[in-house]
Amino acid sequence: MDRTKHAGINRRGFLRSASAATGALVGLGASSSAAHATTVSTVAQRIDTIRMYMTHYALFDEPDGKIPAATYLNVFGQLDAGLTLTAPVAAQAFLRWGGEGQHLFELAAGFKPMPYRISPPGFSLAETPAPLLLWFELLLRVPVRAADVTPFVVAIGTFQLPPAWAVRARLDGSHFTVRKPMVFRVQIRQAFIHGAAHVGLVLPYVTNGEAAAFLGLPPPANPLANLFYSWTTTMTLSTTHVYVRDVATEPPPAAEPFEPDETQIRFIGSPIDADGRYTLVGSVGRPDFVAPPVSSVPGILQVLFGTTNLTDVEWACAETGVFAG
């Protein structure tokens, strides 16, 4: 089954699915427990915030406070929630299995699409095109100048979820560790905000053909399909891990510059406290463990990163939330 279809699962649906799976598995475990004295129970990891860093690309937070607060509409004037992300960002449910209940196997997971603002070369517009200014005029029924509307670019990142059996975890007292395959896929949308009216316009996803035209690249295969680029690795995240890098020693990100007052990338794991709160941190070091980024328009990698075979990526992730069970 393709679990990527469930990347946007809402929390109620996730909990309902997890409960059903849990009930069935616990039922199976009850007979096993009677025969083998094995402890079976379930635990849930709610993820409220995610911070990620990818060498050459970006350091960003989810939910992203850099996306302007506004009512966003599509070109047909309908509400578009694609730029809105509220906590929890994700949830994972695990079956605890073993004599001491320390080993966990994933039952179900749901990660929402994660929008974050970027400034990639070639995609950012200096000003809003005239037809879109007319769109705002028709909507707001007032004259609209180019100075009234600000264009910006948003990446929509999604985790392509692996099979549940591929995600393993360990719970040892207040310390929690998860090892999982990770594929992070990014697509691009352009947006425009009328600051005074707090109204935004969001265009459809940028296609392969549009991306090639923006960047002056040859026509690509599948020009009408949505542009994407992605990274792949297997990462171990733990409450005991720490990831620290001085910004001055890191390559400048292509998608969004480091903030002027930023001196360090600093992710610090923390054990589960009395309220169930925790921080998991994981990283994969360069150059051997992160697969080079791939794209539906390979030439975009040359524009973003200066090469189509980037092999020195370091990928770090911090998940903060509440643990129960």
Looking at per-residue pLDDT, the higher value among 236 and 35 belongs to 236
d(CA 137, CA 118): 27
Q: Which of 111, 122, 113 is nearest to 67 (CA)?
A: 113
Each residue of 126-150: pLDDT tens digit?
Answer: 789 999 999 999 999 999 999 999 9
What pLDDT does residue 99 have? 58
**Residue 219: is it exposed, middle or buried by C-beta count within 10 angstroms (0-12/13-18/19+)?**
exposed
Kindly report which listed range (98-112, 170-184, 214-228) carries the lowest average pLDDT score. Answer: 98-112
Kindly report which listed range (37-41, 94-98, 153-157) carries the lowest average pLDDT score. Answer: 37-41
Q: Which residues pair with 315 in a beta bridge?
A: 54, 284
Looking at per-residue pLDDT, the higher value among 23 and 223 belongs to 223
Q: Detail the DSSP E strand segments found in 206-299.
A: 229-238, 242-246, 264-268, 277-284, 291-295
Terminal-to-terminal C-alpha distance of the chain: 27
Q: Which of 146, 149, 153 is nearest to 121 (CA)?
A: 153
pTM of the model: 0.85
What pLDDT does residue 15 have? 41
φ, ψ at 4 (rounded to 5°)? -65, -20
Q: Are 245 and 258 contacting, i.e. CB atoms less than 8 angstroms apart?
A: no
Q: Are 244 and 281 contacting, i.e. CB atoms less than 8 angstroms apart?
A: no
Each residue of 102-123: pLDDT tens digit?
Answer: 889 999 999 999 999 998 877 7
Q: Detail the DSSP E strand segments found in the chain.
A: 39-54, 58-62, 71-73, 90-98, 103-111, 114-118, 149-159, 168-172, 175-194, 199-205, 229-238, 242-246, 264-268, 277-284, 291-295, 315-324
Report which DSSP code applies to 249: G
